[in-house]
Amino acid sequence: MKKISFFKMSGSGNDFIVIDNRGPVIDEAFLTRFITGVCRRRLSAGADGLILVERSGCADFRWRYYNSDGSRAEMCGNGARCVSRFAYLKGIAGASMSFESDTGLMEAKIIGDRVKVRMPMPHDMILDESVKTTEGLVRLSSINTGVPHAVVEVQDLEAVDVRARGRELRFHRHFAPAGTNVNFIVPEKDGAIAIRTYERGVEDETLACGTGAIASALLTAVKQGTNSPIRVLPKGGGHLTIHFNREKTGFDEVFLEGDARVIYEGTMWDEAWNEKGTTNQ
């Protein structure tokens, strides 16, 4: 692996390196080191995660999503939108497409620089649990929207120490062994939801989280009777729109809509993933 072409993309501030790996161009034996190397901030391209686009026998393409620490995640909502627009711009798929993921077959539709993606069926919803933390009992709800999420409603979003409180809940024994993503939310008067998220795998606050936005919207819909669609306002700016049908036992027809912007297209040299920032030659 000497030079690798890629897109740098952003979905509501959640940023990704996207690579056409249909060749393939990435050596699997080297994959974890490659991901952690190129996702480093300031020392490389830098990103919250890395996406590989690969061949599929039953859809337009298959995608694999990896967190910046090299761990594989079953789903990433903002990443799903970005990979969809990447596939469209590269001629891999049309404006309406389907693609394979670890959670099953997904569908997406391109709407300018925005993308609307059909998301996996949410499951394992639990409302209003009390979890003991160093700051006392925390009341939260949880749901799996492709990956597990805990949602905590707070009074002042800006005052929350997302990194410290999120990390404690992310690794809390209550969510062992897989852990959870953690979202802090404030419902707005107009029905929108402001949100900040600590992401598992990134192990820090990110500017947006698509599956976290879905989790927060669906749990708010149950607790407050809010109807679809619900706007979610991430720290990265703009808005995500969550569409859904409410059923007696849960939800179906869940869609995530939001921007999927191309920041730049480039070519990485092997210095991008070398630990010391120099070539091995």
Residue 223 CA to its chain's centroid (Å): 24
Contacts of 186 (CB under 8 A, 6+ apart): 153, 154, 155, 156, 157, 193, 194
Contacts of 23 (CB under 8 A, 6+ apart): none
* Burial call 128-163: b when 16+ CB within 10 Å, e when fewer: eeebeeeeeebebbbbbbbbbbbbbbeeebeebebe
- Closest CA relative to residue 147, chosen from 196, 197, 108: 197
| Rounded (10°) CA dihedral 261, 263, 269, 275 | -90
Residues labelled as active-site residues: 76, 209
* Residue found under tokens 């092997």: 270
Q: How far apart, in Å, do the first and last CA atoms of the chain sit?
A: 13
The letter for the amino acid at 12 is S
Contact yes or no for 150/182 (Cβ under 8 A): yes
